[in-house]
Structure 1
Amino acid sequence: MKDERFLKLMSRTYPTAQATAAEIINLKAILTLPKGTEYFFSDLHGESGAFLYQLRSASGVVRRKINDLFEQSLGTDEQDELAALIYYPESGLEKAHRQKENYDDWSRITIYRLVELCKDAGSKYTRSKVRKKMPENFAYIIDELMHASGSNKQHYTHEIIFTIVETGMGDDFIIALCYLIQSILVDRLHIIGDVFDRGPHADVIMDALMEQRDIDIQWGNHDMSWMGAACGSPALVANVVRLGISYNNFDVLEDGYGINLRPLSDFAARIYADDPCSCFSPHTLDANEYDPVDLPLAAKMHKAITIIQLKLEGQLIHRHPEYHMENRLLLERIDFTANTTRVDGTTYPLRDTLFPTVNPKSPLKLTAEEQELMHALVSSFSHSERLQRHIRFLFSNGSMYLSCNSNLLYHGCIPLKKDGSFATVSINGKTYSGKSYFDYIDTTVRQMFFSPHGSHVQQNAADFAWYLWCGPLSPLFGKSKLSMFERYFLDDPKTRVEVMNPYYTHLDDQKVCENILEEFGLDPATSHIINGHVPVRLKEGESPIKAGGKLFMIDGGISKAYQNQTGIGGYTLVYNSHYLALAQHMPLAPGKRMEEQSPKVQIVEAVKKRVTVGDTDTGAELRQQIAELEDLLAAYRSGQCKEKIRK
């Protein structure tokens, strides 16, 4: 009966044997096509300019295709100009209007070239798949131009292009073609965590990600911090604001998401009026475009929110003794008479001794003004429509990990013991490790967003999101502690040492990587691990390729904050039907020639036989659909299901 009901449901979509057979033919043909190209990015950290350049250029693929198609007809400068137009069509057209003597002729020639690029980029996909990526207003015309061939249609295509320009639609059509090329070349996009913090415009990156048709995101610790803040966690709201001020990201907070920082500014200016807050000067990697900031005032705001965060985190640690983080209650360990504190049993002098809002008898208690301030900030995060839209997208398209086409994707680490076996975590009387721990985290985090706001389940999940930000057994964090207090208040560098999880000592251990792949149900002989989180120090000789090619660490420093460590401007991992390749980018420098900006591409694994759709996860799904359709076709032919013939 169940099978019969299922066949009847299918018959609504395929009402006749002919329609069913046609779909079987279509799906079987698709299985033979080359697989689409997947792009893997990690640790974007708000660097919208660099990320959009790498995405729109398909990590150098656009420029290479231009050279392949037009090497004989276009010089290097003309190829660079065409590539720049595809990456940034609006500004490219503005420049062309100023510089081209016969703009209409230039437009027609450019359309011809862009159509050729569309044909080449879309040649390994079905016509219907490419058409779905086309802008609706021009879909019919683009489809005709891409598939018109032979001498009989030569005048036809010429007339289309001449008329497009003649009717004043040339610019819009060129823009549509440029974005179509970008879309076709990046078939699937994987973001291995940490869209947020440090860089100037995570909001712009999120807008771009939401325009992608096929995208997944593996949550990073910085993403989790913003997710928790958007869901009302006071500790994570304070953390997001603190990091935003620390990296001078006022634009993304105030202009990007409309977070009202005026109450914090007023509070800090008054409470810390006579305090230079010299330990709290913000990093200024980027200038603010919309909100030029008074750095001395920013330092006061930075200290004010840091003290509030330490109080809120202390309260949270007391609420959750199961986190075993009592060693982070450093605000409670201050001797306000001697101006010292204890860290791991050792007493250290404080380098900042001004704590006007801390009551020595109850150091974790917020003052009335601090409570009012936090209420305003939490409300601002909760009511930011754009932020809530972005966070919902992170939940709908994100997860703790993903197994995709024999690749295991996660941001940070799999918590391990020193011997390389899986570390165990006890939660509510149950023990988790490896995959079961990741599955538990994924389920719990979603309760933070989807459970009734303010319920015990929702608040408990929001507290757990804070643990994922900085807890010692958090797979998103992967360190023994977050030495925030020590960096602000203590001089001794020994106090700031953050011991990495044993996972990071086993990165080159092929057996450990194979065990991880098996734990997540993947064949270790043919699969890879792809993660980020820790910048690869390439200039010190470190390689992003680990364990004999079983693991790829693709945090290459797209964030300016890490480029002194990495020496480069980020990595992209590219997986197409021929090979797995690592693109090594240089820091974005707008004044440089396009050729100088092209990444160095290293093929890290070539396939013996070209990978088809049939070899992918999508292929497995299509074969299942084919089997179901064949059952329906048999049911039509046996009379079990009746065809719905319409006149």
Structure 2
Amino acid sequence: MNPYYLTLLEKRFPTKQSIVTEIINLEAILNLPKGTEHFVSDVHGEYNAFQHVLRNGSGNVKQKIQEIFEGRLTEESIQDFAILIYYPEEKLIAKKQQFTSQPELEQWYLDTIARMIELLQKTATKYSRSKVRKALSPDFMYITEELLYSNSNELDQKDYYNRIIENLIKLNQAEAFLTATAYTIQRLIVDHLHVIGDIFDRGPAPDKIMKTLLDYHSVDIQWGNHDILWLGGAAGSPLCIANLLRICARYNNLAIVEDAYGINLRHLATFADKTYQDNPAFSPKVNSSQEKIKEDERLLMTKIHQAVAIIQFKLEGQIIKRHPDFDMANRAILEKIWNKGSKIEIDGKHYSLQDTCFQTVDWTDPYKLTDDESEIMDKLVQSFIHATKLREHLDFMMARGSMFKRYNGNLLVHGCIPVTQEGKLESFELKGKSYAGPELLAFFEDNLRKSYAEPKKSTDLETDLLWYLWQGPKSPLFGKHAMKTFERYFINNEEVQVEIPNAYYKLRHDEAFCRHILEEFGLNPDNGKIINGHTPVKRGHKPVMANKKMIVIDGGFSKAYQSTTGIGGYTLLSNSYGLQLVAHQPFTSKWDSIENGTDIISVKRIIDSEVKRQTIAETDMGKELASRVVELKKYLQSK
């Protein structure tokens, strides 16, 4: 046994009895039911919908309530109780207003605390006492444990149990206790959360989502293409910054940059205001949930939108020229423009350009930034690198994140595994080296980690590869042959705007292909599944493919996609009984839930059900615990 490891064991387990106790504890834990995994994807800054799904555990909370109280409570009362668990503070305020006398309110407290404890008992049965204790509010730990492990129907304990609840009410602690217990139930309902990419994008509050995840008890993140723009920006990529600012301006979301993360855009705004004019193609898109934008704000946003778009196209050309290995010469777009900026040649065809804004383009050197543009980008890079709150959020995303994850036999990846039309792993060639499959994703992850850790020391290649992840033809996060941003702005021709997906998206319907991918990632194709985000499942299409080997859970958290998907998003649950896919109705508001009892669960679909309930021993964590037991038994023999 390693001497250093042996020293650690001696410090932690100084006696034989302490070793025996730990072995008994670990082997007992291995026989507990597997905890519930909760999968969400493509949240796109939609904080309120994300919060609701997180609080209700994709319907798990209500399901537990129904299991316990069906036949004892009406459906209306069950829903009312579920909303109390989701939003305890707000629901308690609304509830108090319903009672006309103090005795009525106190009786409601008595009944509700008793039900809350009963629900907590049901929720806690699959965990060790130690794990439950960690989930309890420190303010009520002793009281909760006494209620949780007492038997209210046992004659010797009944008065003891009831007196605790009565005193909570008399001492004005009923609301605080109910609130704390509701959050404990939320935490125990889901053991681990997987976020399969795209926390950031057009939605209004990715910063609030990141704050929620920072405080969440157990979570991992698979980076999405929109997340990479922010990680790349903080790692010092001017082009990632230009792209994310363009998207924020396009969707009237620059407040994320300025207000949420404190990044000053004054120099950009001043430059844009004096350089550009109104342009309908660049007017911000405002969705129905946003306040109507004032005319002066709309005009300035339109000008900023044009300014960062042109900077983006210039910087793209520079990167493409620097790195022929990227094989993106067809996307060096400005040099293809002629006739004083009114015509363009793409793939041998000529097109007229409309709504142009090429005021700062020097046609003798189209990719050169003006002095003002260079100064603006230099300041923005420094602002992104040194933005304290942004860094805190992205540090967490880096610590909990990865390009892909193997977890309990499944492969979690946001976008795709680039493949050829024949289904073979597609290689990315760079400086004489070739990367494909798991090695390709690991290469990009290693590069990102290095660039993010030391943004000031990153080379052009390391920084430019961050942008390649956003729109490179062999990027596993993009998954298309080209991004046609320029064409969508300036060419009124749908044919030239088409973005061709990687063959992965067609082949993932085929079971043999999915099994092949699982094997390439070292997973058992008989038991494993690929869980994807990134591509919204359109109305009428199925999220479960390839004989249940592929599950796509981007179903429309983002309001922009809901007209296409017809729903408000998919989530996935994996518990000891199997896999459930949950379809959600579009989220309205928290207050609609509180006041009207609305929820957003549409339907749960059983994908797989276990004949024998899964235990922790069958999970990745269980294998680690079993390995630890083996080591402890060896150590015990040596004592």
Q: Classify the TM-score, shorter chain.
A: over 0.9
Residue 377 of structure 1 deviates from its aligned partner by: 2.4
Q: Hey, what does 1:507 align to over in structure 2? A: 508
Q: Does 1:466 align with 2:467?
A: yes
Deviations 1:592-637 (A, max 9, x none): 754663330000111111100011111110110000000111011x
Residue 253 of structure 1, aligned match among 257, 269, 272 = 257
- Secondary structure at the aligned position of 1:59 is classed as helix
Alpha-carbon distance in 2 for matches of 1:354, 1:192: 37
Q: How does 1:219-618 map to 2 (within 5 A)?
A: 219-272=223-276, 275-285=277-287, 287-288=289-290, 294-337=297-340, 339-451=342-454, 453-457=455-459, 459-537=460-538, 539=539, 541-590=540-589, 591=592, 594=597, 597-618=600-621
After TM superposition, give the deviation of residue 123 of structure 1 in Å.
Answer: 0.8
Q: Match for 2:456: what amino acid?
A: G
CA contact (8 A) 1:242 1:302 kept: yes
1:393 offset after TM fit, Å? 0.7
Deviation sequence 1:419-460 (CA, Å, 0-9, x none): 011111222322111111111111111011113x32144x53
Instruction: Give the secondary-structure state (helix, strand or coil) at the position aligned to 1:20.
Output: helix
Aligned partner of 1:170 in structure 2 is 174
Partners of 1:543 and 1:186 lie apart in 2 by 26
Do 2:286 and 2:292's aligned partners in 1 also have CA atoms closer than 8 Å?
no
Find 2:209's aligned residue among 202, 205, 230. Answer: 205
Distance 1:338 1:67, change over 3 A: closer
Range moving further from structure 2, 286-295 or 107-116: 286-295
Change in Cα spacing, 1:291 to 1:217, as seen in structure 2 (3 Å) is farther
Over the matched positions of the two proteins, sequence identity in percent amounts to 43
| CA–CA distance in structure 2, aligned partners of residues 234 and 596 of structure 1 | 42
Q: Report the CA distance between 1:186 and its aligned residue.
A: 0.9
Go from structure 1 to structure 2 and tell me whether the alpha carbon gap of 1:286 and 1:216 turns closer, same or farther (over 3 Å shift).
Answer: farther
> SS of the counterpart of 1:342?
strand
CA contact (8 A) 1:40 1:190 kept: yes
Cα displacement string for residues 154-183 of structure 1 (whole angstroms, at most 9, x for unaligned residues): 222222222222222222222111111110
How far did residue 90 of structure 1 move? 1.8
CA contact (8 A) 2:235 2:453 kept: no
Question: TM-score, structure 1 length as denominator?
Answer: 0.94
Match of 1:639 in 2: none
Is the alpha carbon distance of 1:557 and 1:287 closer, same or farther for their aligned partners in structure 2, counting shifts above 3 Å? closer
Query: Aligned partners of 1:3, 1:476: CA distance in 2, in Å?
Result: 41
Report SS of the residue matched to 1:535. coil
* 1:282–1:295 contact (8 Å) kept in structure 2: yes
What amino acid sits opposite 1:196 in the alignment? Answer: F
2:118 to 113, 116, 122: 116
8 A contact 1:422–1:434 mirrored in 2 = yes
Deviation at 1:379, TM superposition (A): 2.9
In structure 2, the gaps of 5 or more residues are none
Question: In structure 2, what residue type is equivalent to 1:560?
Answer: K
What residue number does 1:146 align with?
A: 148
Q: Is the 8 A contact 1:100 1:106 kept in 2?
A: no
State the distance in 1 between where 2:145 and 2:577 align: 27
Q: Distance in 1 between matches of 2:262 and 2:83?
A: 32
1:214 pairs with 2:218 = yes
SS of structure 2 residue aligned to 1:15: coil
**Partners of 1:251 and 1:94 in 2: CA distance:** 31
Q: 1:456 to 1:263 in 2, by over 3 A?
A: closer
Which position in structure 2 is the counterpart of 1:96? 95
User: C-alpha deviations, 1:220-268, integer Å up to 9, x for none?
Assistant: 1111111001222111111111111111113322222122233222222
Q: Deviations over 1:197-222 (max 9, x none)?
A: 01111111111111112111111111
Cα 1:175–1:624 change in 2 (3 A) is: same
**Equivalent residues of 1:37, 1:574 under 8 A apart:** yes
Bigger shift: residues 278-287 or 17-26 = 278-287
Amino acid at match of 1:378: V
Aligned equivalents of 1:289, 1:136: Cα separation in 2: 41
Q: Return the offset for 1:311.
A: 1.2
Letter in 2 for 1:321: P
Measure how far apart 1:46 and its partner are: 0.7
Distance verdict in 2 for CA 1:602–1:326, change over 3 Å: same
The whole-number CA distance in structure 1 between the counterparts of 2:634 and 2:355 is 75
Separation (CA, whole Å) in 2 of partners of 1:22 and 1:10: 14
After TM superposition, give the deviation of residue 479 of structure 1 in Å: 0.2
Partners of 1:608 and 1:67 in 2: CA distance: 23
CA apart distance, 1:286: 5.3
Check the 8 A contact 2:237/2:463 in 1, yes or no. Answer: yes
Q: What SS does structure 1 have at the residue aligned with 2:97?
A: helix
| Residue pair 1:330, 1:342 contacting (<8 A) in 2 also | no
TM-score normalised per structure 2: 0.95
**Corresponding letter in the other structure for 1:604:** I
Once the two structures are superposed, residues 343-387 of structure 1 have per-residue CA deviations (whole angstroms, 9 ceiling, x without a partner) of 222221110233211112222111122222223322332232211
Superposition pairs of residues 6-155 of structure 1, within 5 angstroms: 6-101=5-100, 102=102, 103-149=105-151, 150-155=154-159
1: distance between equivalents of 2:465 and 2:439? 16
In structure 1, distance between residues paired with 2:123 and 2:415: 34
Does the 8 Å CA contact 1:39/1:186 hold for their aligned counterparts? Answer: yes
Distance 1:78 1:428, change over 3 A: same
Once residues 486 and 529 of structure 1 are traced to their aligned partners in structure 2, the CA distance between those partners, rounded to angstroms, is 33
Q: Tell me the secondary structure at the aligned position of residue 336 of structure 2.
A: coil
Q: CA deviation at 1:8?
A: 3.1
Given that residues 245 and 254 in structure 2 are in contact (C-alpha distance below 8 angstroms), is that contact kept between their aligned partners in structure 1?
no
Aligned pair in 2 of structure 1 residues 133, 336: CA closer, same or farther (>3 Å)?
farther
Deviations 1:455-499 (A, max 9, x none): 144x53221110000000000000000100001111111111101
Q: Deviations over 1:136-166 (max 9, x none)?
A: 2222222221111233222222222222222
What is the deviation of 1:290?
12
Partner SS state of residue 622, structure 1: helix
- Secondary structure, aligned partner of 1:58: helix
- Against the structure 1 CA distance between its residues 189 and 456, is the aligned structure 2 distance closer, same or farther, given a 3 Å change threshold? closer
CA contact (8 A) 1:574 1:580 kept: yes
- Counterpart of 1:146, as a letter, is L
Among residues 185, 188, 194, which one is paired with 1:190 in the alignment? 194
Q: Which secondary structure state, in structure 2, belongs to the residue aligned with residue 160 of structure 1?
A: helix
Q: Does 1:629 align with 2:632?
A: yes
Contact 2:451 2:458 in 1 (8 A): no
- Which residue in 2 is equivalent to 1:644? none
Q: Is this contact kept in 2: 1:229–1:236, CA < 8 A?
A: yes
- Tell me the SS of whatever aligns to 2:356: coil
